[in-house]
Structure 1
Amino acid sequence: MTVALDTHEAVLRRLRDGMAGGVLSFPLTSFHADGSLDPDGFRAHVARRIAAGPGAVFPACGTGEFFSLDEDEYRTVVALTVREARGRLPVVAGIGYGWAQARRFARIAEEAGADALLVLPHYLVTAPQEGLVRQVERIAAGTRLPLVVYQRGQVAFTADSLRRIAALPNVIGLKDGHSDLDRLQRLTLAAPEDFLFFNGAATAEIQARAYATVGVPAYSSAVHAFAPEIADRFFAALRDGDDKTTDRLLREFYVPLVELRDRVPGYAVSLVKAAARLRGEPVGPVRAPLTDLSAADLAELRNLLATGLDLVGAAP
């Protein structure tokens, strides 16, 4: 397959410029009460996310419940995102599972008009470094689109493995979800100068300062899916060195949010979706095996969300 290096470089520049100016948005996938896909709800949700001005939009990823979408639903979600983006910002679609299935999703995303792909961790098994590299090589050989590889869970690259995947013409970056700053520093030093890194830890704002110390200031924001006002205010405070605002948002909103998130497995998505519904977003419930919040946890989330919005309103 012919690799369009000029296209990859253009996408890389757009992503880098976008990350310098805003958070990365990971929209939710909208479902009806019966669990079926809600295209109209998703279109409205992703349009509002894009209007809020993120650096890039990543449909059908972890927050978007990629793991629960069939290929037709995936095609719809990516195509609607591309349509709403209208070229104003990069659209990076999630792909995953084994390399053969990842390539199928990559073809669908390419046909739907995505600019790039985020390679989610493979399914179930733990693999040696050689296997992790070969997985990326196989996926990269099956698509013309540039790839950002997500290391999290059972995927963690050594510096030598990072050099090998970064040498592939269409691998342009790495999203990190491990928060192992020693390892991450080694990876950033091993990578080519123009290689893209960003913080993909759950509720990445908690670690944003620490990541910036090893040269990775960009991050994804799940909060942007339901409260872009809070996400953008935190981003601006961190960028501008406004420690007072950063600390207050961390102390009174983000840390309590993480404590609530960590109570139940899967709340990393369920909580975000519940908060979006509280803001009037037509995203519907989560799909099994995830579960929606309990009544008590939902009430706590409602109060926490009000606190976060009040903090933004009071910030200078």
Structure 2
Amino acid sequence: MKSDCSCRLLTSLYLIIVLLYNFLNGEYICEHPEVEKYNKVIYENTSYRDSLHYNYLQRIRLNQPHPVVDGGFTKTNLSDLEKVEQKFPFKYYDSLIKHFNIHSNGLISVFKDRYFGLIANYLSDTPPFEFEVLDTKDLFAIKMSFKITVNSKSFTSKTTYLIYPNGRISFYYENIPTKFDETKWKSKMAAIFQCEKRHIEHEILVPVEWIKSGTLVDFEAVGNICPKNETKKACEKAKPSDIACIWCERINICIDSNDKETHNMKVNDCRIPTLITKVVKVEKQKKSDLCLYILIPLGVSFIILCIGCIIGIWLYKKCKRPL
């Protein structure tokens, strides 16, 4: 079971790094418009889904607690959200964002010098009736409440947008009915690229079948800062601000990491042969210790017990023998 899990992780993470290496050039989507529809599912089971898209890794997990555990949300009027300037530098599709616009239907518009894209997580015909905001130097989050009616039963459903300084964007869903009109739910992020001959709109959708109470969707941004075609020495010497450069021996490239979870995942992928060797050594050591400290003493004790029983029986018979 453990070896199967290691193999799945090895295959999945290897694909992630190789494909990211090919896609990280900012002009790639203009030169290769076919990646506009690229959607590679890396791993999927009944509670977890990992997929690779242009510039982002999408990770979906079911039955998760709310990412904001200590509260801090404040009810806000929509008029105060028409133009939001976050308190930290934020990159969207590797471009620095100046501000967001929050719309009455729950849509978020993303702006550089001009409109660049959108973040959507709402019902097309059911505008939110309440907005709550958490705006700090480490997180910008908006929680929206909707009234959903299914079979004459009313639900107060909530969706939360979470935007982090490292470029990660997350969606979280609360009190979602088990059945709803799937065609009306809009859950995606998108950007418009100004190419030489035409505009390309790239979008990453959340599969509607994964929209449930307790679902957490992460869009992990993948940067292009570390030197890609350099040596291990150059990679290890590179120290961009707030970025860790990792030399991946498996495919001989330097990869970026600006998020703890992504960092550990990439490190484990690049070093998995070493990890497997260590696990094997540990297991062998455990087996050796088991033999030395448990099985051998038990075996010796059993032999001594048997010898004692034989001697006891012999003495008993000897004592009962008539003189």
TM range (shorter): under 0.3
Higher strand share: 2
Structure of higher CA gyration radius:
2
| TM-score, normalised via structure 2 length | 0.26
Higher helix share: 1
| TM-score, normalised via structure 1 length | 0.26
Structure ranking higher on relative contact order (CA contacts 8 Å, 6+ apart): 1
